[in-house]
Amino acid sequence: MPAERARNYQKGLKAERRAVWWLRLKGYRILGSRVKTPVGEIDLLAKRGTVLVAVEVKTRPHIADAMEAIPPRQWQRIAKALEWWLAGHQQKSFSNKPPDLRFDAVFISPGSWPRHIRDAWRPGGLK
Amino acid sequence: MVAHVTTVAFEGVDSREIDVQVQMSSGLPAFSIVGLADKAVSEARERVRSALSALGLALPPKRITVNLSPADVQKEGSHYDLPIALGLLVSMDILPAEELTHHIVLGELGLDGMIAPVSGVLLAAMAANGADKGLVCPATNGSEATWAGNNEILAAPSLLSLINHFKGSQILSPPEQTKPERPEHLLDLADVKGQESAKRALEIAAAGGHNLLMSGPPGSGKSMLAARLAGILPSMSAREALETSMIQSIAGQIEEGRLSMVRPFRDPHHSASMPALIGGGQKARPGEVSLAHNGVLFLDELPEFSRQVLDSLRQPLETGRAVVARVNAHVTYPARVQLVAAMNPCRCGHLDDPAIRCSRAPKCARDYQSRLSGPLLDRIDLFVDVKAVPPMELDRAPSGETSRTVAARVTKARLRQRERLEACEMKVPGSTKGIFCNAQADGNLLAHIAAADEEGRALLLQATEKLRLSARGYHRVLKVARTLADLADDEIVSRPHIAEALSFRRLQTD
C-alpha cells in the first residue's frame, strides 16, 4: 500500500496547488496551507478584506462525488482548528479587529476548472 | 451595532413590550436566540433563516445573537418570527432602523416568506395604541387589529411586501374593518311548549345576569330552554364586546377579524377537566369560563362534572376572575359569566314520577344531588323545576311568546339597570367599575340600588331566618328582586318582588 498512499499524497498536494492559484486569481491572500493544530488540520487559510476563510480542498474524479466527500465530523474539526489558529494569530494580520470567519470548499476534478463554493457550510449544520 | 424591534409578550389579558435586539459580530458563524424562549420561539431560527433565503438573502457568515429583553419574562408563541426577521434585516442594512422604532411587530413566518396569522393581535394593537406606536401584523389579522382604534396598521401578507413598503416601492393599504358578526338565525323561545315558569326564570336570568339551575326529568326541555337563552340576551356594549374579544384573541378564536356583539354561549362537555374550564395548562390559556366572559356558561348534566371541576368554579363565579397559578405562569383572566346549569333530579331522572322512577328512590336522588357542593349551590340565584310536559300540551300548536317579545322586555330592564348604574357612577366615581347588571352589584352598591320598602324588608328578614339563608343568599335574593322590579318597571323593590325572588330559592328538602 505505501506506493498508493504516496500517490494519493502527491495528488492531494497537486490539487492544493491548483486551489491556491485559483483563489489567488480571485483576490485571496493565502496565509497558510496544511495548517496543523492539535485539534485538526486546515487545508488552506486565506484572507480577503476582513474575512478569514478556512478552505477545504477535495479531489474526486467527478465533481458531484467531491461535493459529498466531506463528513460532518471533519467540518467540526476544521472549525475547531480555525479557532485554535485564530487564538495565536489574532493581532498580527487583521489590524487588531477580529475577522469575520467563513468556511469554503474548493473541489478539484481532472478535466474541469476548480470549483470554489463560498460559505459552503456553517458550524452547527450545513446551511 | 444592535438593531432594535419591539414586540409584545402576553400575560393573561395584559401585554408587555419586548425589545428584540439583534447583534452581528465577528467570530464563528452562528445564530442563537436567548431570553427565556420556549420551543416555538427557538424554532423561529429555522423559519427566519428559510424565509430570508426565500427572498434570496443568506444570513451573513457572522456571529448573530438575538436577545429578547427583558430576559426574565417567559416568551411563548410563534409571533416572534417576524420581529426577529425584521431585526436581522435592519442589522443587514436592508431596512432603515428608524422606520421600525415606532412599530410593534408580531407575526409568524412560513418557510416561503409568507406571514401566517397569530393569536393575540387585538391585544398587541391595544398595546401599540397605548404606547402611541404603529402595528405590523399578519394580513389575515389586519381587520382584527383595526378594532383597537385608529393607529397605523401594516397588515402584510409576506415579508417581501413589508420590505417593499418600508423601502417605499409598494405601499401597503390599511386593512379594512369587517362588520361585526350578525347574529345568525337564533332559536326561538316559542318552539318550547308549556314550561311557563321555566321561561319566566330564563327571562329573569337574562334580564339581570343571574345564575340559573334547571332541574327536571330527561326530555323535559332543559337543554332546549338553555339553547334559547342566547336569543333573548341583550347584545353586548362596545366595551363588553372588546373585553370578550380580547380573550378570544389570545385563544386565537377570532375568525376573519370579525368581532361579535352576540354574547358568547359556551357549553363544555361534562368530561371537561379543570384546566379546560378555568384555564391553565403548562402554558397558561384561558378556559371555558373566561371564553364565556360577559356571556353564558352552560353546564348540562351538572352533577356529572367532576366535583373538583365544579368547586373550582366557585372563585370565578364570585370574583369574576379566573386566577391561574403555575410554576412558570401566574395570570388572571376576566371571567364574569352567567352560569346556567341543567340537571336531572336523580340518576334515572324520574324522581317525581312514582310510576316510572327506579327502585332506589329517594335515596338515589340524595346521593346524586350531594355531588353538588353547598357553596356552589349557594351561588345560584334561580332554581327552577322543569316538569315533564303533559301530553295535552305537546299536541297543541306552539302559542308562547316569541324570543323577540321577551328580548324587548329584557333589553328594557337592562337599560333601566344601566341608567341606574350610571347615576351611581356620577355620585361616587369608580363605584360601578366593571359592573353591567344587577347580578354583578355587591356590598354598598347593592344596598344602594336594591333598597326594599318596609314590607319587603320585613318579609326578607323573616325568610332569611326561616330558610336559614346565608349572607350571600340574602344578597342574591335582593339582586333577583331588583331585577324583578326592573322587569315590572318599578323603581322600588317591594314585597311581591321579594316574594317571587324567594320562590326561586332552593328549598332545603330535609
Domain match, B270 and B353 both:
yes
- Please write down the HEC assignment for all residues of A19-47: HHHHHHHCCCEEEEEEEEECCEEEEEEEE
The minimal CB distance from A122 to the residues B25, B26, B29 is found for B29
The minimal CB distance from A100 to the residues B26, B31, B58 is found for B26
Q: Tell me how far apart the alpha carbons of residues B163 and B95 are, in angstroms, rounded to a whole number.
A: 7
Q: How confident is the model at residue B182, as a pLDDT?
A: 65
DSSP class of residue B329 equals E
Domain match, B282 and B392 both:
yes
For residue B158, being part of any structural domain is answered with: yes
Mean pLDDT is lowest, of A17-21, B9-13, B115-119, B295-299, for B9-13
**Average pLDDT score over residue span B116-124:** 92
Q: From the candidates A51, A90, A100, which should be mutated to test the interface with B, based on the most B CB atoms within 10 A? A: A100
Dmax (CA) for chain B in angstroms is 88
From B406, B421, B442, the end of a domain falls on B406
Domains contained in chain B, number? 3
A97 has a chain B CB within 8 A of its CB: yes
The minimal CB distance from B62 to the residues A82, A100, A123 is found for A100
User: Does the pLDDT of residue B446 top 80, yes or no?
Assistant: yes
pLDDT exceeding 90 applies to what percent of chain B?
38
From B384, B406, B428, the end of a domain falls on B406
CATH of the domain at B382: 3.40.50.300
Chain A residues with CB under 8 Å of B60 CB are 100
**Average pLDDT score over residue span A72-97:** 78
Would residue B391 be called left, alpha or beta, if left means φ above 0 and alpha means ψ between -120 and 50 degrees?
Answer: alpha
The minimal CB distance from B26 to the residues A98, A122, A123 is found for A98
Over the stretch B371-413, which tens digit does the pLDDT of each residue have? 888 888 888 889 998 888 888 877 777 777 888 889 999 999 9
For residue A65, being part of any structural domain is answered with: yes
For residue B174, being part of any structural domain is answered with: no
For residue B179, being part of any structural domain is answered with: no
With bands split at pLDDT 50, 70 and 90, how would you rate the model's confidence at A2? confident
Domain match, B421 and B436 both:
yes
For residue B430, being part of any structural domain is answered with: yes
With bands split at pLDDT 50, 70 and 90, how would you rate the model's confidence at B508? low
Backbone angles phi, psi at A121, to 5 degrees: -160, 170
Q: Tell me how far apart the alpha carbons of residues B198 and B194 are, in angstroms, rounded to a whole number.
A: 9
The minimal CB distance from A101 to the residues B29, B31, B58 is found for B29
Domain match, B395 and B439 both:
no
A99 has a chain B CB within 8 A of its CB: yes
For residue B175, being part of any structural domain is answered with: no
The residue that leads in pLDDT, A64 or B390, is B390
For residue A18, being part of any structural domain is answered with: yes
- Which ipTM was obtained for this model? 0.76
Domain match, B244 and B152 both:
no
Chain B, nearest residue to A80 by Cα: B28
With bands split at pLDDT 50, 70 and 90, how would you rate the model's confidence at A112? confident
Q: How confident is the model at residue A93, as a pLDDT?
A: 57
Q: Residue A68: give the domain boundaries.
A: 2-117
Q: Tell if the CB–CB gap between B28 and A102 is shorter than 8 Å.
A: no
Number of H helices, E strands in chain A: 3, 5
Domain match, B381 and B436 both:
no
Domain match, B437 and B395 both:
no
For residue A123, being part of any structural domain is answered with: no
From B111, B133, B167, the end of a domain falls on B167
Over the stretch B322-359, which tens digit does the pLDDT of each residue have? 988 877 667 889 999 999 999 998 888 888 888 888 88
Q: Tell if the CB–CB gap between A102 and B61 is shorter than 8 Å.
A: yes
For residue A58, being part of any structural domain is answered with: yes
Angle at B363 between CA B361 and CA B368, to 5 degrees: 100
Domain match, B395 and B487 both:
no
Domain match, B422 and B393 both:
no
For residue A106, being part of any structural domain is answered with: yes
CATH of the domain at B445: 1.10.8
Q: Tell if the CB–CB gap between A101 and B28 is shorter than 8 Å.
A: yes
What is the torsional sign of CA A78, A79, A80, A81?
positive
For residue A60, being part of any structural domain is answered with: yes
Q: Tell me how far apart the alpha carbons of residues B492 and B485 are, in angstroms, rounded to a whole number.
A: 7
Q: Tell me how far apart the alpha carbons of residues A68 and B340 are, in angstroms, rounded to a whole number.
A: 67
For residue B238, being part of any structural domain is answered with: yes
Domain match, B442 and B363 both:
no
Domain match, B396 and B424 both:
no
Would residue B332 be called left, alpha or beta, if left means φ above 0 and alpha means ψ between -120 and 50 degrees?
Answer: beta
Over the stretch B271-317, which tens digit does the pLDDT of each residue have? 999 889 998 877 778 999 999 999 999 999 999 999 899 989 999 99
With bands split at pLDDT 50, 70 and 90, how would you rate the model's confidence at B84? very high
A101 has a chain B CB within 8 A of its CB: yes
Note the pTM of the prediction, 2 decimals. Answer: 0.82
B61 has a chain A CB within 8 A of its CB: yes
B71 has a chain A CB within 8 A of its CB: no
Q: Tell if the CB–CB gap between A122 and B30 is shorter than 8 Å.
A: yes
CATH of the domain at B9: 3.30.230.10
Over the stretch B447-499, which tens digit does the pLDDT of each residue have? 888 888 889 899 999 988 988 888 888 888 999 999 999 999 888 889 999 99
Q: Which of B14, B24, B92, B17 is nearest to B52 (CA)?
A: B92
User: Nearest C-alpha of chain B: how many angstroms from A99?
Assistant: 6
Q: Tell if the CB–CB gap between B28 and A97 is shorter than 8 Å.
A: no
Domain match, B372 and B432 both:
no
Q: Residue B354: give the domain boundaries.
A: 189-406
Over the stretch B144-175, which tens digit does the pLDDT of each residue have? 898 888 678 999 999 999 999 998 888 888 88
CATH of the domain at A72: 3.40.1350.10
For residue A73, being part of any structural domain is answered with: yes
Q: Which of B114, B112, B126, B98 is nearest to B155 (CA)?
A: B114
Domains contained in chain A, number? 1
How far CA B440 is from CA of A43, B65, B436, in Å, comes to 78, 50, 7
Output the DSSP codes for B420-477: HHHHHHHHSTTTTTT--SGGG--HHHHHHHT-B-HHHHHHHHHHHHHHT--HHHHHHH
For residue B182, being part of any structural domain is answered with: no
- Please write down the HEC assignment for all residues of B77-115: CCCCHHHHHHHHHHHCCCCCHHHHCCEEECCEECCCCEE
Chain A residues with CB under 8 Å of B32 CB are none
The minimal CB distance from B28 to the residues A51, A97, A123 is found for A123
Q: Which of B427, B346, B344 is nearest to B385 (CA)?
A: B344
For residue B373, being part of any structural domain is answered with: yes
